[in-house]
Chain A
Amino acid sequence: MRGRPLLYTSYQEDQSLLNTWTKKLMAALFLALLLIAPFGIVPGLGFLGDNDWVKLMSQVFIFAIGALGLNLLTGLAGQVSLGHSFFLGIGAYTAAWLGGEAGGALLGEGLPMWVWLPAAAVVPAIIGLIVGPTAVRVRGLYLAIVTLGLVIIGEYVFRNWKGLTGGSQSGRTHPEFQFKFWKEGTPLFDFGQDATIAGFQISSEVSTYMLMLGFAVAAVLVAKNIQRSRTGRAFQAIRDRDVAAEVMGVNEFKYKLLAFGLSSAFAGFAGALLASFVGRSIPERFDLFLAVQFIAMIIIGGAGTVSGTLMGAAFVLILPRVVRDLTDWGAAIVESGEGVLAWIGDLFIATSPDDFGLINTLPGVGPGLSVDQLNGVLFGLLIVLFLIFEPLGLYGIWLRIRNYWKGWPFTY
């Protein structure tokens, strides 16, 4: 029986998370790649070892956790939410209150990470369950507006509760990633310091990267498990046909509320990680744009799928960086003024105030868009294009590639 693909001799085998050899191999290779990438020893991907790339990838992991939460609510249970950043904010400030240092008028208990991090998931979940009953009574556009209200209320509260958030001007610092037993004493492990483990030099960026990777892997497993079990099926049933779901015995109110709570927990967890990762935050960080970014991640990635969500998170965060690098590279070629590439590049890139070009590398002096503006335009354009041409997102594209190679060299 060995070597015959898709032959299962038990339901356990068929229902397991990685039920084919290809999936097992791909998952192992991918994880191994992520584990060694920050050391810059992967051929062709050596740049992933640069500190700014390690930091960018850590952010990808954090955003992936938040996007997985939104995917549970919007992708699986079908409840559109513009309020995701509100719950990220609650998570971040819960962590800041419990784990941060008190100073001046600022609240802070200085508790260790094993207290503030779980609390950053639990508190938003509870608040999600409190505001949830209002939200689960409405659907579609109305729900989007209700959740939009959450962001506006949240931003207002964050901006004015200066004891907690530090206010708009200065913001506040967030707790550091440290393993400690209790408030006092030297940490067992400090992710903010370079360390030596078993003779290996590990920079603080790399150790933080590993921590975020660990959290992201755990979040992926949890999201995947929910999706393939009773709870996830109830979510999907409500998304596809809510009346039929109820008639089949699914308590619509309970499961919508549960989706709300779980999604808020993921969001809060990601919010605390994000704030602590950046170190300092102002209340405006948790605004509508952040929520829209998360929606873009699941739309571009492919709503309702875990792997799509991960691709979406990576895509949305890495794209600006790639655009910037490409522009710099193009500008350098134009400056050198040699060859056809320089001539073509000159049509698009303006390098001096009197030059014409779509992209302007000298912000504020010439015509055209700055790189940041270009990124904004691309971001909006991509959402529109994906919605029209590939509603399944990157996951849909991946499916088509996979199905093509499944039958290769035959067309079907």
Chain B
Amino acid sequence: MTAKADRKVLFGGRGDEARTGNILEFEGVSLAFGGVKAVDGVTFHVREGELFSIIGPNGAGKTSIFNCLSGVYKPQEGSVKWRGEQLLGQRPDLIASKGMARTFQNIELFEHMTVIENLMLGRHVRMQSGWVSDMLYVGRTNRDELANRAVVEDIIDFLEIEEWRKYPVALLPYGIQKRVELGRALAMEPELLLLDEPVAGMNLEETEDMARFILDIRFELGIAMILVEHDMGLVMDIADRIMVLDFGQKIAEGTPDEVSANPAVIKAYLGEEV
């Protein structure tokens, strides 16, 4: 059995399924904090299984868009539709249970828990055991814990973090913590994965490892992704489509080649020619 065939066990290898249509429709969303418009009438669509990237200078509103998507912020205008279903106004945990997972710009792991426990928490939405059977650790709880531990071990294998499994995450090096956070999001078996600067602060080797994992997720697991990242080399290399934001407004959208040739984008990043 080849390594690739072996890995397909994870989530049944959805990567080969041909799917069409939009998984997410983000329509005219505006979010203001007092007088500051963090997101200003932004519209974009993410297709099934696509690697969509959002770039822009600091403070352009990228993370705010993520927070609108996962229900942490409530935008004043617009609509966010998940396969036709309105997400705005829903609680974060309900949005998560539909299949949206995310990582955070500044690592938000549960630092007192081990790697396995963090990943098992990621399985929370995929487990059913209630507090009564948890108290006795019988029946459903025991079955759930074993079955989901197996999934978690597959993800540990996928992300190559075997040696760290039983460490409390606070003790792990930064690059590994980033990887564990990706693992925790993957453990939710998402259909859309939001990655907020997954390679921020990483060296070249760690960046290339992460790029490899993102491509594996894209092509083997078939999970759609929205990638927010400042590393232009990485974004231009792996993204299918890119949206560029500046001061909360969308200034360009298209393939990496289209975007990098766009005068508005060049102006936002490099300034105007004198």
Contact = CB atoms under 8 A, between A and B. Distances in A.
A225 B134 contact: yes
A251 B93 contact: yes
Given A225-B137, A248-B122, A236 B110 contact: yes
Interface stretch (B2-10, B54-62, B143-151): B143-151
Nearest to A241: B108
A249 B188 contact: yes
A11 interface: yes
A151 interface: no
Interface string B94-114: 001100011010001111110
A246 B121 CA distance: 11
A246 B93 contact: yes
A274 interface: no
Contact of B113 (A229, A230, A240, A246): A240
Most buried by B among A17, A228, A231: A231
B14 interface: no
A15 B70 contact: no
Nearest to B122: A248
B146 A12 contact: yes
A247 B71 CA distance: 8
A234 B93 CA distance: 12
A12 B109 CA distance: 26
Contacts of A222: 135-136
B91 A248 contact: no
Contacts of B127: 230
A110 interface: no
A396 to B, nearest CB: 13
A222 B135 CA distance: 5
B92 interface: yes
Given A226-B131, A249-B124, A11 B149 contact: yes
A234 B121 contact: yes
Nearest to A262: B131
A412 B7 CA distance: 37
Most buried by B among A15, A222, A241, A247: A247
Nearest to B165: A14
B110 A249 contact: no
B72 A233 contact: no
A244 interface: yes
B184 interface: yes
Chain B interface bracket (under 10, 10 to 19, 20 to 34, 35 or more) = 35 or more
B120 interface: yes
Given A230-B124, A234-B124, A249-B125, A244 B149 contact: no
Interface string A264-276: 0000000000000
Contacts of A229: 129, 134, 137, 141, 145
A353 B120 CA distance: 65
A99 to B, nearest CB: 24
Given A229-B134, A233-B120, A247 B96 contact: yes
Nearest to B98: A249
A231 B134 contact: yes
B93 A225 contact: no
B117 interface: yes
A243 interface: yes
B129 A230 contact: yes
Contacts of A246: 71-72, 91-93, 96
Interface string B74-94: 000000000000000001110
Contacts of B136: 222, 225
Nearest to B124: A249
B30 to A, nearest CB: 22
Contacts of B121: 233-234, 236-237, 245, 248, 250
A50 interface: no
A232 interface: yes
Interface string B183-200: 010001000000000000
A252 interface: yes
A398 B141 CA distance: 30
A230 B134 contact: yes
A339 to B, nearest CB: 51
Contacts of A247: 70-72, 92-93, 96, 102
A190 to B, nearest CB: 30
Given A229-B145, A236-B113, A244-B104, A249 B93 contact: yes
Contacts of B108: 241, 243-244
Contacts of B135: 222, 225-226, 231
Contacts of A225: 134-137, 141
Nearest to B149: A11
Given A244-B104, A258-B131, A15 B117 contact: no
A304 interface: yes
Contacts of A240: 109-113
28 contacts: A11-B145, A12-B146, A14-B149, A225-B136, A226-B135, A228-B137, A230-B129, A230-B144, A231-B130, A231-B134, A236-B113, A240-B110, A241-B110, A243-B72, A244-B108, A246-B72, A246-B91, A247-B71, A247-B92, A247-B96, A248-B93, A248-B122, A248-B184, A249-B93, A249-B97, A250-B121, A252-B93, A262-B131
Given A225-B137, A239-B112, A245-B110, 18 more contacts: A11-B149, A225-B135, A229-B129, A229-B145, A230-B134, A231-B129, A231-B130, A233-B120, A234-B121, A236-B110, A237-B121, A243-B92, A244-B110, A247-B70, A248-B93, A248-B101, A249-B97, A249-B188
Interface of A: 11-12, 14-15, 17, 222, 225-226, 228-234, 236-237, 239-241, 243-252, 258, 262, 304
The list of the 9 closest CB pairs from A to B, nearest first, reads A249-B96, A249-B125, A244-B108, A240-B110, A229-B134, A225-B137, A246-B92, A231-B134, A11-B149
